[in-house]
């Protein structure tokens, strides 16, 4: 990449370049017009002079088969549909460095393991990234978390090395981008794109099935149901469930459903004991599939996200895709969504309030007084369409084009 260009021109953020992300696939010059943004089925494409050129090859880690998060599978499929040739990590092409772009997500997970294993895997991965960079591959890093939610001993030096090797960054929201460059101002010279976390495609369940799932939680009672789904980790602040009110604004009982397994970093005995001590709480100690999670979320009234830290939330986007409303802490990743949707879809509370019980009572009262109208449903549908995996793929393609063109 040409390091002599201005920072404003080099940075790929759509907002900083005055571009509409929804129109990021529009060609703006001969260099961009070489790669069509519409889906293609050919392995090769044609230049205006009639000569064939191969598609851009992208090694993405984690890849399509990542078992614990469907985000990577859905993004992979969308990237293939816009014409990119995706390379799996356990392929000959990856081992022999036959690709153009190396796109890394969540590298910090490599060092979230016992110290000896973390050291070995961390060093091997850094060596591979360094080799890829030495052979002129473009290294792109999507910053899911500016500060890791579960830091380990080797996290800080490992991420320091990753910043030295990365050639471009993708951020999922404005505040994470601003915070990253506040902490690491030297990284501003690198290419940047801001691509929101995608919303998940969800199959709607029938009214009868929704009633059956809801009845299994509430024993058929008329109440407000608040869900706390997903793997339970310390930063997700499960203790905030104790501060939820017993009734909503209309006097209906409030039931909580906690669905997910405990992460090894939690105090299992203490946390499970807290759940058992809450009479209006239902516990599902199991990891749900996307289908099971979707069915549960579509059957409740609010998804409760009282997180203490974090920079993006796939669960929030998943819940909105299910048409469920959010009750969440005042972290930037949630307040940015609230700015776009607001009530009746997102209700934010001050998770640092001196009296959290009073704060949550007021937030639940606000939520229970709102019912989404037809206009609200349209607004949510527009938000989900603008943050679809298809839109994200087009924005990724635009970033890759700029990198391959040396911009």
pLDDT tens string 127-186: 999 999 999 999 999 999 998 888 888 999 999 999 999 999 999 999 999 999 999 999
Kindly tell me if the per-residue pLDDT of 193 is higher than 90.
yes
Q: Which position has the higher pLDDT, 7 or 242? A: 242
Q: Do domains 7-197+388-404 and 207-386 have the same CATH topology?
A: yes
For position 219, what pLDDT does the model report?
86
What's the rounded mean pLDDT across residues 65-90? 89
pLDDT tens, residue by residue, 393-405: 999 999 999 999 8
Kindly tell me if the per-residue pLDDT of 208 is higher than 60.
Answer: yes
The residue written with tokens 């044609």 in the block is 46
- The domain 7-197+388-404 having CATH identifier 3.40.50: the answer here is yes
User: What pLDDT is recorded for position 53?
Assistant: 52
From the list 37, 38, 34, the residue with the least C-alpha distance to 46 is: 34
Q: Where are the alpha helices (DSSP H) in 256-343?
A: 268-276, 290-297, 314-321, 332-340
pLDDT single digits (tens) 224-257: 999 999 999 999 999 999 999 999 999 999 999 9
- Bigger pLDDT: 9 vs 392: 392
The tens digit of pLDDT for each residue in 320-367 reads 999 999 999 999 999 999 999 989 999 999 999 999 999 999 999 999
Distance CA 129, CA 122 (A): 11
Residue 29 CA from chain centroid, whole number: 31
Residue 264: what pLDDT?
87
Q: What is the pLDDT of residue 220?
A: 85
Does 261 score more than 80 pLDDT? yes
pLDDT at residue 406, as a whole number: 82
pLDDT of 152 reads 84
3-state secondary structure (DSSP) of residue 19: coil
Q: How far apart are CA 400 and CA 353, in angstroms?
A: 43
Q: Where are the domains of the chain?
A: 7-197+388-404, 207-386
Does residue 28 carry a pLDDT above 80?
A: no
Closest CA to 107 of 82, 130, 79: 130
* CATH code, residues 207-386: 3.40.50.2000
Predicted confidence (pLDDT) per residue in 269-324, tens digit: 999 999 999 999 999 999 999 999 999 999 999 999 999 999 999 999 999 999 99
Cα(337)–Cα(173) distance, integer angstroms:
9
Whether 35 shows a pLDDT value over 90: the answer reads: no
Residue 54: predicted pLDDT: 65
Q: Quick one: pLDDT at residue 332?
A: 93
107-127 pLDDT, tens digit per residue, is 998 998 899 999 999 999 999
- Averaged pLDDT score across all residues of the chain: 87
From residue 246, give the alpha-carbon distance in Å to each of 96, 241, 279. Answer: 60, 11, 10
């Amino acid at each position: 990449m040409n390091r002599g260009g201005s920072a404003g021109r080099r940075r790929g953020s759509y907002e900083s370049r005055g571009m509409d992300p929804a129109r990021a696939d529009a060609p703006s010059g001969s260099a961009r017009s070489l790669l069509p943004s519409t889906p293609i089925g050919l392995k090769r494409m044609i230049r205006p002079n009639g000569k064939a050129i191969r598609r851009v090859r992208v090694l993405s880690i984690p890849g399509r088969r990542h078992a614990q998060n469907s985000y990577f599978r859905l993004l992979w499929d969308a990237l293939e549909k816009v014409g990119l040739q995706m390379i799996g990590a356990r392929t000959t092409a990856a081992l022999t460095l036959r690709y153009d772009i190396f796109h890394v997500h969540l590298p910090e997970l490599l060092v979230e393991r016992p110290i000896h294993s973390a050291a070995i895997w961390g060093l091997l991965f850094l060596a591979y990234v360094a080799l890829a960079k030495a052979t002129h591959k473009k290294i792109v890093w999507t910053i899911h978390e500016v500060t890791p939610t579960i830091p380990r001993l080797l996290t800080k030096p490992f991420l320091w090395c990753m910043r030295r090797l990365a050639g471009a960054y993708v951020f999922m929201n404005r505040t994470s981008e601003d915070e990253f460059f506040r902490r690491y101002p030297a990284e501003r010279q690198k290419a940047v794109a801001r691509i929101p976390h995608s919303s998940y495609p969800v199959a709607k369940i029938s009214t009868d099935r929704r009633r059956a799932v809801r009845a299994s939680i509430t024993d058929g009672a008329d109440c407000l149901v608040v869900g706390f789904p997903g793997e339970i980790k310390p930063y997700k602040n499960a203790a905030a469930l104790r501060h939820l009110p017993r009734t909503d604004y209309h006097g209906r009982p409030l039931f909580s459903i906690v669905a997910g397994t405990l992460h090894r970093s939690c105090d299992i005995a203490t946390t499970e004991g807290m759940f058992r001590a809450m009479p209006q709480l239902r516990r599902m100690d199991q990891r749900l599939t996307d289908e099971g999670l979707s069915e549960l979320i579509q059957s409740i009234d609010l998804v409760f996200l009282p997180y203490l830290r974090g920079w993006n939330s796939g669960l929030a986007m998943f819940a909105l895709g299910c048409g469920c409303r959010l009750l969440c802490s005042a972290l930037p990743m949630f307040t940015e969504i609230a700015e776009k949707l607001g009530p009746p879809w997102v209700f934010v509370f001050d998770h640092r309030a001196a009296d959290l019980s009073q704060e949550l009572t007021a937030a639940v009262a606000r939520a229970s007084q709102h019912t989404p109208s037809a206009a609200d449903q349209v607004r949510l549908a527009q938000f989900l369409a603008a943050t679809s995996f298809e839109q994200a793929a087009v924005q990724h393609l635009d970033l890759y084009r700029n990198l391959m063109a040396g911009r």
